[in-house]
Structures are given as structure tokens and as C-alpha cells.
């Protein structure tokens, strides 16, 4: 018996794509070979396993998110033409245009993703990073994570010779986040958070563990104990878990190509 041929026939049978001659060939093989029948049973089991794999529900809010991002339909008139038809003179027209522009800017600002806006740590409690007015800030990497009831965004920035990890979470359950700096060459120095405190904070030089639920935002400041350590080589490993179950691992790396000065 040729296993390859038997599997070919069984595969076609699974798709109801056997000719009469092929069906007769398969029947003959199956009646005379225990090995062929075993192969048939294995394939049938695989088909059942595939069929038993459940359909998944998309994350809540995905449809609305898509709809928000799909460009609005073009209306049947142009705003420029409409303004041109007004007979209130140039001043009013320009004034209206400016107001429209301002409204558009607000709309664009409001439509930004929840965690996608530029980092502003001034709302955090405590002073912990070099003054952003006098030091150029460089965004090195970012990481976003979304799962059932959990949404999180983390961004790695360079502030002078320090690194700053700006983290936001929005969860309906308690989530543990572990930051491992051991591969970064940097050490934990300080943590600042908004007035909504984290449930717990544990840290050593190389690892920081925090626990939070609801909307939380905090920033972690890291400093190099050694002037020879280059920020560009830093890597920070993140681990999100809930009730002892690992949800996601990720990494913030300073050597990615997408860094940008701000």
C-alpha cells in the first residue's frame, strides 16, 4: 500500500471530491488494509478536532473602532463651495473657515486612540524625570496590549541619561505587571503615579512588580549605574498576568529603528 496515495484519496474524500473510480480504489484499499483504516480514523479525528475548534468573538468595541476610523462619507457638497456662496463678505467667510478649522482640530484630537496621545507626565505625582523643556525627549519604543477587559499601553523614552517607561492600564480585573530590567543595564530608581494609586508595588534593582485594577497610569524611571551603558542597547521585558495566569509577554527595546525625537 502506498501511504501517500491513500492519504491523497482520503484527503479528497474529506472534501467530497472523489471520482467514482477513486472511490472504488479507496474502498478496495480500506477493505484490505488495517493500516489504511487506521490512517482513515486518524484523519477523521483530525477533521473532528478542527470542527470542534470554536468560533471566537472579536474583542468588544472592535466594530465601533473600525467605524470610527473609516473615513466619513463625502457629502454632496464641498465646504469651500458652500462658503463661496455665502454673501457675508471675506471677513465672515475667513472667520467661519477658522472656526471650522478649530472644530476639525478638536475632532481630530478627540478621535485619537485612548492611549496614543503624546506622553505628558505632568499629571503624575512627584518630580522624577529631567525637565522636558531643557532636555530633548526621545521616544524609543512602545507596546500595546489588549485582551478581554484589559487594555494597556507602555512607552519607553530616553530623558537625558535616564530611561522612562510610561505605562497606562485600563482593566476590569486585577492585573499584575512585571518589569524586568536585568537585560537593560539600567536600574529602577523611582516610580510616579497618578492619584489613583496602584494596589501594590514591589521592587528590587532589576525587577519591578505592580498590581492594579481600573484606570491607572504610572511612570518608572531607570538610571544607569555605569556611564558606559548605552541607552540604545537597553531592553526591558514586560509580563502581564492575572490570577497567576500569564496573559502576555512583551519587550520594550531601545534599539528599534522607529525612535523619534520630540
Of residues 21, 34, 57, 118, which one binds other proteins by CB under 8 A? 57
Q: Give dist(CA 13, CA 93) in Å, integer.
A: 72
As measured in angstroms, the least distance from the Cβ of 247 to other proteins is 7
Return the number of other C-beta atoms located less than 10 Å from residue 74's C-beta.
7
Q: Give dist(CA 78, CA 129) in Å, integer.
A: 48
As measured in angstroms, the least distance from the Cβ of 105 to other proteins is 22
The DSSP-derived string for 218-258 is: EEEEEE-SSTT--GGG-EEEEEEEETTEEEEEEEEETT-TT
Residue 43 as a binder of other proteins (CB under 8 A): the answer is yes
Of residues 84, 202, 249, 262, which one binds other proteins by CB under 8 A? 249
Residue 70 as a binder of other proteins (CB under 8 A): the answer is yes
Residue 50 as a binder of other proteins (CB under 8 A): the answer is yes
Q: Give dist(CA 39, CA 47) in Å, integer.
A: 12
Residue 51 as a binder of other proteins (CB under 8 A): the answer is yes
Q: Give dist(CA 82, CA 144) in Å, integer.
A: 42
Phi-psi region of 193 (alpha: psi -120 to 50; beta: other; left: phi over 0): beta
In the range 160-189, which residues lie near other proteins by CB under 8 A? none
Main-chain dihedrals φ then ψ at residue 259, nearest 5 degrees: -70, 150
Residue 66 as a binder of other proteins (CB under 8 A): the answer is yes
Nearest to 164 by CA among 231, 116, 97: 231
* Cβ closest to other proteins, residue 15 vs residue 226: 15
As measured in angstroms, the least distance from the Cβ of 160 to other proteins is 27
Q: Candidates 56-64, 197-205, 210-218, 226-234: pick the segment binding other proteins (CB under 8 A).
A: 56-64
Nearest to 132 by CA among 169, 112, 162: 162
* Cβ closest to other proteins, residue 52 vs residue 131: 52
Q: Candidates 42-50, 88-96, 129-137, 191-199: pick the segment binding other proteins (CB under 8 A).
A: 42-50
As measured in angstroms, the least distance from the Cβ of 195 to other proteins is 29
* Cβ closest to other proteins, residue 146 vs residue 211: 146
* Cβ closest to other proteins, residue 135 vs residue 182: 182
Of residues 144, 182, 194, 259, which one binds other proteins by CB under 8 A? 144
Q: Give dist(CA 13, CA 216) in Å, integer.
A: 56
Residue 244 as a binder of other proteins (CB under 8 A): the answer is yes
* 12-26 exposure pattern, b = at least 16 Cβ within 10 A, e = fewer: ebeeeebeeeeeeeb
Q: Candidates 81-89, 93-101, 156-164, 240-248: pick the segment binding other proteins (CB under 8 A).
A: 240-248
The DSSP-derived string for 81-106 is: HHHHH--SHHHHHHHHHHHHHHHHHH
Return the number of other C-beta atoms located less than 10 Å from residue 98's C-beta.
10
Site for other proteins, rule CB under 8 A: 7-8, 11-12, 14-15, 17, 42-43, 45-46, 49-59, 62-63, 65-67, 69-74, 143-147, 239, 241, 244-251
Amino acid at each position: 500500500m502506498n501511504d501517500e496515495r491513500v492519504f491523497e484519496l482520503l484527503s479528497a474524500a474529506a472534501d467530497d471530491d472523489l471520482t467514482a473510480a477513486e472511490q472504488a480504489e479507496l474502498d478496495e484499499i480500506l477493505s484490505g488494509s488495517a493500516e489504511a483504516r487506521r490512517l482513515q480514523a486518524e484523519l477523521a479525528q483530525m477533521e473532528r478536532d478542527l470542527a470542534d475548534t470554536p468560533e471566537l468573538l472579536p474583542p468588544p468595541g472592535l466594530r465601533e473602532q473600525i467605524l470610527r476610523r473609516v473615513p466619513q462619507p463625502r457629502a454632496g457638497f464641498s465646504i469651500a463651495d458652500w462658503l463661496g456662496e455665502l454673501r457675508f463678505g471675506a471677513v465672515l467667510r475667513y472667520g467661519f473657515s477658522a472656526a471650522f478649522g478649530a472644530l476639525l482640530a478638536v475632532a481630530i484630537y478627540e478621535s485619537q486612540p485612548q492611549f496614543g496621545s503624546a506622553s505628558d507626565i505632568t499629571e503624575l505625582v512627584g518630580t522624577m524625570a529631567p525637565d522636558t523643556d531643557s532636555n530633548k525627549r526621545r521616544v524609543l519604543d512602545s507596546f500595546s496590549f489588549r485582551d478581554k477587559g484589559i487594555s494597556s499601553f507602555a512607552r519607553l523614552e530616553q530623558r537625558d541619561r535616564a530611561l522612562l517607561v510610561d505605562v497606562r492600564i485600563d482593566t476590569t480585573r486585577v492585573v499584575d505587571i512585571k518589569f524586568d530590567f536585568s537585560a537593560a543595564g539600567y536600574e529602577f530608581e523611582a516610580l510616579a503615579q497618578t492619584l489613583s494609586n496602584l494596589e501594590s508595588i514591589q521592587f528590587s534593582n532589576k525587577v519591578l512588580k505592580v498590581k492594579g485594577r481600573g484606570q491607572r497610569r504610572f511612570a518608572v524611571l531607570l538610571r544607569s549605574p555605569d556611564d558606559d551603558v548605552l541607552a540604545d542597547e537597553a531592553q526591558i521585558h514586560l509580563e502581564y498576568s492575572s490570577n497567576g495566569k500569564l496573559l502576555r509577554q512583551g519587550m520594550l527595546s531601545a534599539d528599534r529603528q522607529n525612535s523619534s525625537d520630540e
